Structure formats: structure tokens, C-alpha cells
Amino acid sequence: MKPVPDLHLAALGIEMAPCVITSSEIEEMMATTWDQLGIPRGQIEQLTGVRERRWWNEGTSISEMAAKAAQKALHRAGIDIGSVDRLIYTGVCREGFEPATACAVAHHLGAGENIELHDLSNACLGSMDAVVRMQSGQPYNKQVPAIRLLE
């Protein structure tokens, strides 16, 4: 078995959507139906464990928000975007099918022309798939800032 190259997350960067809606608020919106069906309040949270979810305002640029999260991670890690040689966008939401959202994120970050860019989409596993890809043994800067865009 081939040994796995060392890889660590140097820092995290998070950008959270500002619009919060709670499970209780959703239940209130559906109150008439829930009452007719005899469903008690608190079921959404009890069954899913989800207290709240967040939404972006209409017209929000996903790539701009991803770049904000990336900038936070880069700053915390003390890494300049110029030293990053690979940017993988792993979010579930994209701004379009082509070009890759990573291209827009790199543009917002001011990345140079010598950076490898691509999107990796696999629902919830996208971020883990990116880690596996980074561990593939190909040359890259092994200090990887983790970027999480909460959708």
C-alpha cells in the first residue's frame, strides 16, 4: 500500500449566510396543515436535529462569498494567495455549469495565472474528495487552508 503524503489543514475560513430561518418558523408557516393533520410542534427539529438553516440574500454571488471565506483562511494561515498552486471549489451551489466556480473565486482572490483551478462536485463528499485529491502525491503546497461556505 502506498503511504499517504502528509497533509494538514492550516486554517479554516467560514462565511455564513445572513438569513436565518428556524425549524419553529417553518412549522408556524405550515401551522394550518399541521393542525389539520394533528402533528405536534417541534417535529422538524426532533426528527432532523436541524434547529435552523441559513439562506443567502437573492443576488448574492456564491464565488464572492467563497472568496471571503478563502481570504479568512489564507489570512489565518499566513499564506499569500500567490503561493497557492491549486484551488478546488467543492460547494454544492455553483454560479453556472461553465466556467468552473473556482475560476471566479480565484479572480476575487487576485490569484495569478499559474494556479490550477477546478470544481469538484460530489454533494456532501466534495470536500473530502478534495482532500483525497490533494493527497494524491502530485506537487502542490501542502498547507491547505480549508474553506467552508455554509449554504
Average pLDDT score over residue span 92-106: 88
For residue 144, name the pLDDT band (cuts at 50, 70, 90): very low
Residue 143 has a pLDDT of 47
Nearest one of 83, 87, 119 to 101, comparing CA atoms = 119
Is 116 catalytic? The answer is no
Strongest mean pLDDT among 7-11, 74-78, 98-102 = 74-78
Residue 138 has a pLDDT of 55
Q: Measured between alpha carbons, how far is 61 from 105 in angstroms, rounded to an integer?
A: 10
Give the active site residue among 27, 95, 124, 151.
124
Does the structure show a pLDDT above 70 at 66?
Answer: yes
Nearest one of 18, 9, 5, 11 to 128, comparing CA atoms = 9
Give the active site residue among 98, 103, 113, 151.
98
Q: Measured between alpha carbons, how far is 10 from 95 in angstroms, rounded to an integer?
A: 27
Give me the DSSP letters along 50-119: --EEEEPPTT--HHHHHHHHHHHHHHHHT--GGG--EEEE--S--S-SSS-HHHHHHHHHT--SS-EEEE
Is 15 catalytic? The answer is no
Give me the DSSP letters along 5-55: PP-EEEEEEEEE-SEEEEHHHHHHHTHHHHHHHTPPTTHHHHHH---EEEE
For residue 4, name the pLDDT band (cuts at 50, 70, 90): low
Residue 151 has a pLDDT of 45
Tell me which amino acid residue 1 is. Answer: M
C-alpha cell of residue 63: 464565488
Q: Domains of the chain (ranges plus CATH)?
A: 8-16+61-150 (3.40.47.10), 19-55 (no CATH)
Cβ atoms of 147 and 70 closer than 8 Å: yes
pTM: 0.74
